[in-house]
Structure 1
Amino acid sequence: MILHTLLDYEILRIIWWLLLGVLLIAFAVMDGFDLGVATLLPFVGREDVERRVVINTIGPVWEGNQVWLILGGGAIFAAWPPLYAVSFSGFYLAMFAILFALILRPVGFKYRSKRESALWRTSWDWALFIGGLVPALVMGVAVGNVLQGVPFHLGDDLRIFYDGTTLFELLNPYGLLAGLLSVAMLVMHGAGWLTLKTSGTVNARARRFGMAAAVATVALFAIGGLWLTVIDGYRITSVVDPNGPSNPLYKTVEVASGVWFENYAAHPWMLVAPVLGFLGALGSLAAFAAKKDGVPWLFSSVSIIGIISTVGLSIFPFILPSNVDPRSSLTVWDASSSHMTLFIMLVCAVVFVPIIIAYTSYVYKVLWGKVEEKDVTDPSTHAY
């Protein structure tokens, strides 16, 4: 209880904002290359054996990688209930599309090689492609809409009302740009993984696609940043009590262009995030060109960390702005669970997250090494 007293409400809110960012970045880094590899599958593998090699680079690890998505969703549910309520109800159709695409992945892995038919296997290959492309695209579109504000408002009793209409309103120009950036970023990441885990023709094709994706990542990230200068951002104009109750309606919010860049002017150290986004992608491009197996994956991880951090730092302290009632916007200071809930969750995270990291590290150590054609054609290996 002494520690509970020392960690006041403000500190716990900041810790859980940081932890949410860490969990989302961990998902993008760990499961992101799975999505990127699946998106590349029909293109880097031209023959059945080559595609089996590609599948077996992620087949043994994708389930463990997806733990970070579950942890992120759980953290939103427990630490930021209003955020969970708005995003998982307002973005319901988008979430359903992601869920449907993700379901294709385990089914595709298990059923693809059940029959020798070329049509059967090719169909499942494209299903795996959808399972990689759709989540990457839709998650990016969602982030693009967060930066523009989401159509919801709160009633006087804090009931949440989503004022959007259809899934297609999310597919606005800036949302689609963010979606394409997400796809390019994860394809770059997946290509980097393939250079680490494959050799020969598949490795060479992955490098070529990785270089194109790295260039696209740099270009789209730059365009997105420039475009953001003319998009309305949100600024709290009332006094903020970091230890106050979780009631978004207690504040007033101003809407103006270029606001999302104010944090960088006030805190120049935050510029590290976009710099890492660019340098990581450029480093990945150089490593692909130099044929440094595995190094592109490390640089693409840096790029992912930088790009996602850029979004979080740009909109802080907002976590979900409202474009129909700015006062209803959710922030770090007014959308969290109680002090005690955040503390109990922090204790659980301190205990269980290191266990997950240790187990994941052990699995990757056991599975280290390249996947060769002989590994998937030898019946004793039980490969996909």
Structure 2
Amino acid sequence: MSNPMAPMARPTIGTARRRSAAIESGSLVRWQAMFDGQELPVVCEPNVAGVRLPEWAREHRKEIGRRLLDHGAILFRGFSVANAEEFNRCIDGVSAGALEYKFRASPRTQIQQDLNVYTSTDYPAEESIFPHNEHSYSPVFPLHLFLYCDLPAQTGGETPIGSTRALARRIRPEVREAFARKGIMYVRNYGDGFGLPWQTVFQTSDRATVEAYCNSIGIAAEWKSGDRLRTRQIGAALMRHPTTGEALWFNHGTFFHELTLPPTVRTQLRSEYAPEDLPQNTFYGDGSSIEPDYVEHLQSCYREVMVGFPWQKGDVLMLDNMLALHGRGPFTGPRRVMVAMAQACRGVDLALKETA
């Protein structure tokens, strides 16, 4: 049976035409857009053999940062990144280092004890993962997201990506206004026999540690009978990018909403649980229900901006997590894609709230 925590609906991947002409070339690498008419991704490939991505990235950190802000996503291809350790060195080259995966929402496995590198979401191969920004439900989220392909799937298994700038242009004004004015309440339940247990989400078995962490970042924790936990927090629908200053649609309001669950899973869960008792659900910040047609409109907007490409072994994909969405397509055969996060941001510092 499908994991009921997975808000899965297969994304519609855009059919953008592949671009062949390079934007510009340097002595060691070349840059080119992957698709005509699409902001992302821009592809960086070596011009000569033997270019090591960790070392090159460290020396060209400013250029990488500039291009990431322009495009939202960079695909480093052809650098023959060999393993998790080298992937981690790539992250060190362009950031202050990978972050620990805290306040978890999806099952992942740490690759090795001394690295903050994890498997991508461990959901069944036949399921898709709806487009989202990583940790946009959390009061603390990563600005940068990195993915590394150690083993591509036999078929499928793409990580479709999409521009949040393009997403914002598609959202109807009345939908944007309602969410921007009211905010979003995230409700999560742990230990009810589905989804992740709170011990996994918070990486501890100590209640006091959970409470201290929640208090530190503005999450309300409520202990229920049988060692079960419910958390609530209110977040903004719009965030301001810390570098560009852009107002961006950045939230988990659609991803966590019950209507984004597979219909059969939602029907099963709603036959047993009230909306506030589901593994995860979203409401307006005042606790009122979000209009179903607003959720369906947003689902369509997310799907419309996604583009996909087949993974190649050794690929490293760097996303500006506020400028780029990502998801996952179903696949066959073994697949090993790793993920890491960097540069923690606090939502309270970037939140935007509009008034009527």
TM range (shorter): under 0.3
Larger relative contact order (C-alpha < 8 A, sep ≥ 6)?
2
Q: Which has the higher helix share?
A: 1
TM-score normalized with structure 1 length: 0.23
Q: Which has the higher strand share?
A: 2
Higher Rg? 1
